[in-house]
Amino acid sequence: MQSRRGSFLEALVNLAVGYSLAVAANAIVLPLFGFYPSLGQHAAIGAVFSLISVIRSYCLRRLFNWWGGCD
């Protein structure tokens, strides 16, 4: 079973990786749909979606730990 601290640290590492991927994906994908945000806007969009992802990951991890995992 993972501790709350362990869950949070895992979520932070996931955030760093996810944020980097989100900013890169925004820079590639959004122009394909006619949107041309600045680098700062890419960063802000990535931050919003990364924060949502961290909250989701942490909550799901805690829920699975509460249920006893998926053994």
- The domains of the chain are located at 4-67
Roughly how many angstroms between the first and final C-alpha of the chain, as a whole number? 11
Residue 48 to residue 27: CA distance in whole angstroms: 15
1-56 pLDDT, tens digit per residue, is: 778 898 788 878 877 888 898 899 989 999 999 999 998 998 998 888 888 887 88
Three-state secondary-structure class, residue 56? helix
Helix (H) or strand (E) holding 29, with range, is helix 4-29
Identify whether the C-beta of residue 63 lies closer than 8 Å to the C-beta of residue 5.
no
